[in-house]
Amino acid sequence: MTRSDPDSCPGVLRLHQAADGPLARIRVPGGRLSPEQLQTLAAAAVDLSDGHIELTSRGNVQFRQVRDAAALTDRLTAAGLLPSATHERIRNIIASPLSGRVGGWTDVHPLVPALDEGLRAHPRLADLPGRVLFTLDDGRGDVSGLGGDIGVHALDEHTYALLLAGNDTGVRVSAADAVELMLATAHGFLDIRDGQWRLHEIPDGPGRVTEHLLSNHPGLDATGAPVEITARQDIPIGWLNQDDDRVALGAGVRLGSLPARTAEFIAAIERPVFLTPWRSLVITDLEEWAAEQVVRVLAPMGLLFDANSPWLQVSACAGRPGCAKSLTDVRADAAAAVESGRVIPTAATQSAQEGLDAEEIVAAGRQHWSGCDRRCGRPRGPVTDIIATPDGYRITPAE
Ligand code: SF4
């Protein structure tokens, strides 16, 4: 596939004109937010947008109905959330959220700032499409299956597999060299692309980039035993015992939309927070007593600490009024389905149906609601599609 247009991914300096007003997307490499940064986002959401922080499937955040882009730029810059005007849209880096705290072979989070700084240090890499995704998986397999373009996947404490377009290349690299190899791979992608936005769009893209790397790095080979990569669905939710005897709390966010007031309370805990690619977050480094207090205060505000909550089965695209293509307000319809008990958390058998009114929908298991056939924001893996059509909703069961 060859593309003639540049990608249209929004940033802070290039807003998307959505149907309900300007939309800004803020990159959060590795999903990591300091309490101060989260407080900055909460205040900006109230002062400059619609009062919510939208979580994206890349662990970034979005503001809708932005009223003053210049003021937003100033605030984000001061908080360290916009460190580059030229490279802002390419800082799409997902890392295993629990890495270094709960399980995993190694801690990938120290690689995140190194990769981010490396990307920003190369002027040419500003030419990467905003769609390109980097993944850093600590070996548990939670982010390698998310369809990244360039990734590393820990095989033990010291060794990573290089993944291209979500598949193992057979190339192995030490932790010390992982970031440099990812940067070299990004250059290789630019060398071979012909307008394409993603590596998988290039005919034999992964193979050609691998060849490019091997010819330029004499010490490399591609002989590692293949690692199978799958899209896992176990979102970290609830009480998680950290390896250092502290506690992390995984918190689901209803339809990925975090009210600014709730974000202020989370910031006030004064602990690092990680946004996940499952539109949830993880509050880390808590003492047990503090974790109990956090659940007591934030659960009534709507954060989800129960892994069995039906809200965790449901995602939805922007729908109306945010998207002009949408045939209906899918988020309201999805929320009504949850609140009226029509989302069945267990994976009961789901039949294909069409021509349904919203109130008729009863759906089981993981499901994504879309306002049209494009299915924006659909999670990877087995997901039932509930799609608005001119003749009512159509349900297509997960395969
Ligand atoms: S799936 Fe359709 S309606 Fe929903 S956000 Fe995408 S384009 Fe808009």
Per-residue pLDDT, 114: 98
Residues 209 and 199: beta-carbon distance below 8 Å: yes
Opening angle at CA 54, ends 52 and 58, nearest 5 = 160
Among protein residues, the one whose CA lies closest to atom 6 of ligand 1: 376
H helices present in the chain, as ranges: 35-48, 69-78, 111-121, 175-192, 205-216, 260-268, 288-298, 330-339
pLDDT cut 70: percent of the chain above it:
98
pLDDT of residue 347 exceeding 70:
no
φ, ψ (nearest 5 deg) of residue 201: -80, -15
3 state DSSP class of 284: strand
Q: What is the pLDDT of residues 203-260, one digit of tens each?
A: 999 999 999 999 998 889 999 998 888 777 678 999 999 999 999 999 999 999 999 9
Ligand 1 within 6 A of CB of 372: yes
Per-residue pLDDT, 233: 66
pLDDT of residue 391 exceeding 70:
yes
pLDDT of residue 168 exceeding 90:
yes
Average pLDDT score over residue span 174-192: 96
**d(CA 63, ligand 1 centre) in Å:** 17
Distance between first and last Cα of the chain: 26
Q: Which of 54, 255, 323 to mutate to test the pocket of ligand 1 (most atoms within 8 A of CB)?
A: 323
Average pLDDT value for the chain: 95
CATH for 85-307 (2.30.30.90, 3.30.413.10, 3.30.43.10, 3.40.50.620): 3.30.413.10
Ligand 1 within 6 A of CB of 312: no
DSSP letter assigned to residue 225: P
pLDDT of residue 349 exceeding 90:
no
Q: pLDDT band at 340, cuts 50/70/90?
A: very high
pLDDT cut 90: percent of the chain above it:
90
- Partnered with residue 174 across adjacent β-strands are 159
Per-residue pLDDT, 358: 97
Give the other-Cβ count within 10 Å of 243's Cβ.
12
Residues 256 and 311: beta-carbon distance below 8 Å: no
**d(CA 220, ligand 1 centre) in Å:** 43
Average pLDDT score over residue span 256-271: 98
Q: What is the pLDDT of residues 50-101, one digit of tens each?
A: 999 999 999 999 999 999 999 999 999 999 999 999 999 999 999 999 999 9
Q: What is the pLDDT of residues 313-328, one digit of tens each?
A: 999 999 999 999 999 9
* Domain limits, the chain: 85-307, 311-396
Alpha-carbon gap, residue 268 to 264, rounded angstroms: 6
Average pLDDT score over residue span 276-285: 97
Ligand 1 within 6 A of CB of 375: yes
Best CA proximity match to 222, nearest among 233, 213, 232, 231: 213
Q: What is the pLDDT of residues 18-56, one digit of tens each?
A: 999 999 999 999 999 999 999 999 999 999 999 999 999
Per-residue pLDDT, 128: 95
Best CA proximity match to 58, nearest among 4, 141, 136, 5: 136
Ligand 1 within 6 A of CB of 374: yes
Per-residue pLDDT, 167: 94
DSSP letter assigned to residue 382: S
pLDDT of residue 197 exceeding 70:
yes
**d(CA 253, ligand 1 centre) in Å:** 20
Q: What is the pLDDT of residues 284-315, one digit of tens each?
A: 999 999 999 999 999 999 999 999 999 999 99
